[in-house]
């Protein structure tokens, strides 16, 4: 995946990577050396359309990329006038941007990191703070270097690089909207539920409006259940929503060089899709379904990841009710996930117009292309 192209992942390597212990249960096997990156990066570059390659030049130092991303003239002028309000996004541009995101997804397999980007922009929200943007949330603040450097955001610079050409093309789409649009589109394109989204989020204007570090959950706290409640209750989310949203880990991989969690590679990740490596929670980690809950419950496969905050979903009595239900009933999971995701995407956001903009009417022009088992490593054994 294109994410591997950048040296910034190592620039952003969190101290947390060193401090954290091994994941629970099946993730505790001895570590292998990381796979070589050069070949992987070269392979993935061929998957990326020329229009996006410029934004993905390997080894761009963070300092040289960020002026382009974050020190744009309009951002600077807005920063000088704290009373300035950014325009809401334009509905036609949002629809066109969605088409471009669909194209990007087809060629780069970046669905998981786009979902993580949207979640990390929104997940800083604090319901106890009334003022915008001090309350955090889905306000585009994650485009700024100071926030991208938070340990929890390691690697997300790569998601920003992928989206920047689309942002450049559609100046009347805010970053806050683009992040949430990309996330919801990614979920829908890999077989997930359609999410009832609204747009018109206003962007913060400068890095001084970014939230402080430490708002997002840690994967290995001493008391995972209490920690998840501390963090998600602060966002105004409940136990059902914590469990449903955790189901997003049906997509993607953990990379030790970013978060400190996961094996360098497994039989499910060694050949991609996208750049190889990392450890996934599920076998088909580019397919949105309820396999995350089934796999966490069974814990039969050493190659699948279970973080302490995943494991607790079947250990805590209140979480367990929902985790069991979602393992049994994909329809129930999809319904609750779609509702929780829409709520997450709105956290802390200031909408202009206040009621938001819907682009749902003609959003589904075609059936999403499903990923087939043949595209996965070791698919024959698992199909």
How far is Cα 222 from Cα 232, in angstroms, rounded to an integer? 16
- Catalytic residue check, 120: yes
Please report whether residue 249 would count as binding ligand HEM according to CB under 6 A. Answer: yes
Q: Which of residues 290-319 bind ligand HEM (CB under 6 A)?
A: 307, 309
Q: Which of 115, 148, 235, 243 binds ligand HEM (CB under 6 A)?
A: 115
How far is Cα 286 from Cα 305, in angstroms, rounded to an integer? 15
354 C-beta neighbours (distance < 10 Å), count:
8
Please report whether residue 40 would count as binding ligand HEM according to CB under 6 A. Answer: no
- Stretch in the footprint of ligand HEM (CB under 6 A) among 43-51, 254-262, 268-276, 320-328: 254-262
Rank residues 91 and 236 by Cβ distance to ligand HEM and give the closer one: 236
Q: Which of 78, 255, 263, 287 binds ligand HEM (CB under 6 A)?
A: 255
How far is Cα 220 from Cα 206, in angstroms, rounded to an integer? 32
Residue that the structure tokens 């809950």 belong to: 293
Residue 253 φ/ψ region, left for φ over 0, alpha for ψ in the -120 to 50 degree band, beta for the rest: beta
Distance of CA 177 to the CA centre of its chain: 14
Q: Which of 251, 275, 323, 327 binds ligand HEM (CB under 6 A)?
A: 251
Q: Which of 65, 97, 113, 323 binds ligand HEM (CB under 6 A)?
A: 113
| CA dihedral (159, 264, 251, 261) positive or negative | negative
Please report whether residue 225 would count as binding ligand HEM according to CB under 6 A. Answer: no
Which of 52, 111, 120, 341 does the annotation list as catalytic?
Answer: 120
How far is Cα 272 from Cα 260, in angstroms, rounded to an integer? 20
Which one-letter DSSP state was computed for residue 72? Answer: -
How far is Cα 89 from Cα 174, in angstroms, rounded to an integer? 6
Q: Whose CB is nearest to ligand HEM?
A: 252
Please report whether residue 155 would count as binding ligand HEM according to CB under 6 A. Answer: yes
Site of interaction with ligand HEM (CB under 6 A): 112-113, 115-116, 119, 155, 217, 219, 228, 245-246, 248-249, 251-255, 258-259, 261, 307, 309
The set of catalytic residues is 120
């Amino acid at each position: 995946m294109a994410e591997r192209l950048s040296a910034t992942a190592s620039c952003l390597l969190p101290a947390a990577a060193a401090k954290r212990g091994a994941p629970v249960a099946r993730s505790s096997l001895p570590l292998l050396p990381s796979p070589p990156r050069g070949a992987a990066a070269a392979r993935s570059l061929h998957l990326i359309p020329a229009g996006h390659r410029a934004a993905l030049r390997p080894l761009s130092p963070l300092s040289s990329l960020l002026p382009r991303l974050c020190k744009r003239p309009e951002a600077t002028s807005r920063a000088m006038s704290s009373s300035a309000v950014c325009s809401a996004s334009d509905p036609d541009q949002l629809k066109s941007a969605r088409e471009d995101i669909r194209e990007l997804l087809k060629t780069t397999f970046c669905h998981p990191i786009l979902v993580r980007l949207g979640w990390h922009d929104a997940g800083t929200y604090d319901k106890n703070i009334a003022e915008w943007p001090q309350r955090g949330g889905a306000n585009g603040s994650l485009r700024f270097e100071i926030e991208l450097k938070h340990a929890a955001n390691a690697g997300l610079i790569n998601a920003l690089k992928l989206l920047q050409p689309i942002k450049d093309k559609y100046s009347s789409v805010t970053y806050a909207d683009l992040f949430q649009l990309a996330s919801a589109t990614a979920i829908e394109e890999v077989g997930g539920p359609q999410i009832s989204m609204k747009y018109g989020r206003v962007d913060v204007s400068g890095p001084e409006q970014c939230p402080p570090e430490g708002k997002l959950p840690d994967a290995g706290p001493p008391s995972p259940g209490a920690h998840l409640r501390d963090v998600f209750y602060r966002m105004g989310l409940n136990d059902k929503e914590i469990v449903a949203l955790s189901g997003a880990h049906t997509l993607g991989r953990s990379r030790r060089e970013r978060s400190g969690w996961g094996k360098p590679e497994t039989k499910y990740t060694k050949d991609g899709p996208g750049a190889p490596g990392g450890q996934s929670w599920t076998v088909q980690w580019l397919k949105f379904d309820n396999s995350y809950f089934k796999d966490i419950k069974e814990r039969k496969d050493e190659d699948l990841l279970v973080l302490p905050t995943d494991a607790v979903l079947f250990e805590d009595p209140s979480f367990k009710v929902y985790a069991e239900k979602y393992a049994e009933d994909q329809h129930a999971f999809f319904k609750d996930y779609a509702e929780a995701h829409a709520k997450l995407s709105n956290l802390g956001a200031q909408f202009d117009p206040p009621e938001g903009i819907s682009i749902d009417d003609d959003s589904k022009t075609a059936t999403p292309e499903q990923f087939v088992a043949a595209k996965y490593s070791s698919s024959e054994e698992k199909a």
